[in-house]
Chain A
Amino acid sequence: MSGWEYAPAPESAAVANLRDRYRMFVDGEFTDGAGTPLTTLNPATGEPLAEVATAAQSDVDTAVRAARRAFERTWGPMPGAERAKYLFRIARLIQERGRELAVLETLDNGKPIKEARDSDIPTAAAHFFHHAGWADKLGYAGYGPEPRPLGVAAGVIPWNFPLLMLAWKIAPALACGNTVVLKPAETTPLSALVFGELCQEAGLPPGVVNVLPGSGDVGAQLVAHPDVDKVAFTGSTAVGKEIQRTLAGTGKKLTLELGGKAANIVFDDAPLDQAVEGVVGGIFFNQGQVCCAGSRLLVQESIAEELLGKLRSRVELLRVGDPLDKNTDVGAINSAEQLARITDLVAAGEAEGATRWSSSCPLPERGFFFSPTVFGDVQQSMRVAREEIFGPVLSVLTFRTPDEAIAKANNTPYGLSAGVWTEKGSRALWAAQRLRAGVVWANTFNRFDPTAPFGGYRESGFGREGGRAGLEAYLDV
């Protein structure tokens, strides 16, 4: 007897309290935007979830004005210890409504409920808790005795971790005394709008946080707005470059957290079973739609065959399907467009001669899904080795010596993250010093903590988020 199928264990979608319509959050109130409403879809079914109001230029002006007013009259002058209370309150509210937010996030984004529940929401709350602690201690952060806030911060965030990216932008901005206008991603606006409710519940003064749903043009209007003092953007490198061009010479502060093509280096003395887990988590977490995903596996030739055998057996076990099912490991791709992009790049990989292997796990008939895929025989010159796929697709390259591993790992326009797997501490440190990446994980991958700064090199952007270093972007230093 060997057939044992887990029974489906879906979380109730009703927990999300989904409504038919969602409105913008401006100056402490929910309002209809002047833009054309958009419809947000459930990527796991392709069906509409809700209609969402969007902002027009006039709404951007209103929101920035409200944020400026709040900055000048209430939030800016408020003592840090007072601001901290609001941030603590928001953090607790995220925890209290954690289950609702997790389900909402899963419905809107397509990620497995266990990731939304165990990773996204708790880490978002942790960011508010962490920054609440800083709000009254900014004088001890190493930026002078009385560092001042910048003013109105514009945050433009991506669809892969909607609430978490919101927390990364809003928590430090508020802790440092700035007010915020946030533009969530077009395909995942819902949790940011529910966050507006949390701000109301927390009694946050009107205008301190504003949320403007819409497409890229709303983001463009927001970052170009003359009364915005700081822009924080997380998203694609192409858009990041445009924003940088727009802001050049304006004196506005800018941080960019862009794409990546991280190397996960497995040396021959690595703890192999744990390395396999780390490689799997590194690329298949959130369907690989992670800017710091370990999308390039660099494995030492002497163990390549053994490691790849273990890797394929492990990937074969991943359960792809209904993101609300607690047993699901890999959920839905966020949108039809993203699925098309992944499909194109995988076709390019096959055409260029890489060997494709995909899990035989059955895929749901509806919705946007893609089988976990591993490309063998990948060469540095291939597109699948160079371009960010942002999907559950791993490219495997081999190396012979540590120097070669570093050379190959650094041979990319990006530099956001990297992983090193070795039982030898000296080798881990040696590699970490040479890898041009904002974060290097040793014998682990995709670990996040609000106390650890995160950010990139080169085309992965600049500036840091989180930790003491992350405060700099929101202070006049």
Chain B
Amino acid sequence: MVEPLDGPRTGALPPDLAEVTRDERSLRRFLHGLPGVDQVGLEQRAAGLATRSIKKDAKAWAIDTAIGMVDLTTLEGADTEGKVRALAAKARRPDAEHPDVPPVAAVCVYPDLAATAVAALAGSGVGVASVATAFPSGRSARRVKLDEVALAVSAGASEVDIVIDRGAFLSGRYGQVFEEVQQVKAACGDAHLKVILETGELATYDNVRRASWLALLAGGDFIKTSTGKVSPAATLPVTTLMLQAVRDWRDRTGEPRGVKPAGGIRTTKDAMRYLVAVREVAGPEWLTPALFRFGASSLLGDLLMQRRTQRTGHYAAAHHVAVDA
């Protein structure tokens, strides 16, 4: 298991925020009263974050940190128990020739494979995340979604990644989205809840900020950009914006919550940029797997290759690193 969340997590909202969730109208008023997001300004800020120069010790530290933040993921219709076991082996020991490489944060699978992952990872300290709630579309009945969450949790998943109902959000039924996430949170028990906003479908940065707050108000432990099934998936501006949201949430409630960009982050260079955003937007205390994750399947391979390059001075051929199962 990754370290527990740093701050106190009481579960109860402070009175002023509890008040805004009282009914649909006050929720809407609150979400629409959040400061707007200027697109040009946000993208300019993200571009600035991407220009930090990271090398030598700073790069070595960042590579190991990023490896420890990876949620190694397989979310294919063709997934099998064998594939999940292969992934679990890689999660425990990402680079067989270099035992000092830290394990990844979690393995992320569909709920019917959660039990397999739990068994394969027993005693490793690597978490098991399971997607639920009719992933990736989120289009099913509430009870089906809650059943799916129950399935994942009863299989022993320590983390549950759910998708919000984008249809409800885009048609302005914020109360419905709020209530669903809240019920899922209750069904999660001790498991950490990651709420996927599918930012590529939310279309505007204002929507991303509103959805972030909505997920935080409803009890999400993490807000996550994407399912990986929709393009655009994670972008640096969107992640920057979500990091602002958790920073503002912490300033307001004292509680830290996590952020997980997912999809489209493939290279070490990309990952460095995200870590710079974490450090400079939310703050250095967010540089922990408890508060920041990468949802990526191909990123780990490049991180391992770059890690070797740091040590040997040359970039090894791809066949030196185990392929992602």
Contact = CB atoms under 8 A, between A and B. Distances in A.
B46 to A, nearest CB: 10
User: How many A residues touch the partner, as a band?
Assistant: 20 to 34
B61 A4 contact: yes
Contacts of A275: 41
Contact of B53 (A271, A309, A327): A327
Contact of A278 (B41, B244, B285): B41
A112 to B, nearest CB: 11
Given A9-B55, A309-B251, A443-B40, A1 B65 contact: yes
Interface stretch (B30-38, B177-185, B301-309): B30-38
Contacts of B55: 7, 9
A139 to B, nearest CB: 36
A337 interface: no
B42 A274 contact: yes
Main secondary structure of the interface of B (DSSP, over half): helix
A4 B38 contact: no
A6 B279 CA distance: 11
B275 interface: yes
Contacts of B85: none
Contact of B38 (A9, A274, A309, A326): A274
Contacts of B65: 1, 4
A6 B58 CA distance: 5
B284 A4 contact: yes
A327 B52 contact: yes
A220 interface: no
A205 B41 CA distance: 44
A3 B52 contact: no
Contact of B51 (A2, A114, A309, A423): A114
A270 interface: yes
Nearest to A6: B58
B288 interface: yes
Chain B CB within 10 Å, residue with most, of A3, A6, A444: A6
Given A2-B288, A4-B65, A271 B38 contact: yes
A270 B36 CA distance: 7
A444 B58 CA distance: 32
A273 B62 CA distance: 26
Interface in A1-21: 1-7, 9
Given A1-B65, A7-B58, A114-B51, A271 B284 contact: no
A39 B59 CA distance: 40
Interface in B137-153: none
B53 A4 contact: no
Contacts of A326: 51-53
B279 A273 contact: no
A192 interface: no
A269 interface: yes
Given A1-B65, A309-B251, A6 B52 contact: yes
B69 to A, nearest CB: 11
B41 A271 contact: yes
B42 A273 contact: yes
A336 interface: no
A277 interface: yes
B237 to A, nearest CB: 11
Contacts of B62: 4
Contact of A443 (B35, B38, B59, B251): B38
A270 to B, nearest CB: 7
A271 B37 contact: yes
A114 B50 CA distance: 12
Contacts of B37: 271, 273-274
A273 B40 CA distance: 12
A273 B35 contact: yes
B304 to A, nearest CB: 20
B280 interface: yes
Interface string A250-278: 00000000000000000001111111011
Given A1-B288, A4-B287, A6-B52, 18 more contacts: A1-B287, A2-B288, A4-B58, A4-B65, A7-B54, A7-B55, A269-B35, A269-B36, A271-B37, A273-B37, A273-B241, A274-B41, A275-B41, A326-B52, A327-B53, A443-B41, A444-B40, A444-B41
16 contacts: A2-B285, A4-B275, A6-B52, A6-B53, A6-B54, A7-B56, A7-B58, A7-B59, A272-B35, A274-B40, A274-B41, A274-B45, A277-B41, A327-B52, A327-B53, A444-B41
Which 3 residue pairs of A and B lie closest in terms of their CB atoms, listed nearest first?
A: A274-B41, A9-B53, A271-B38
Interface of B: 35-38, 40-42, 44-45, 51-59, 61-62, 65, 241, 244, 251, 275, 279-280, 284-285, 287-288
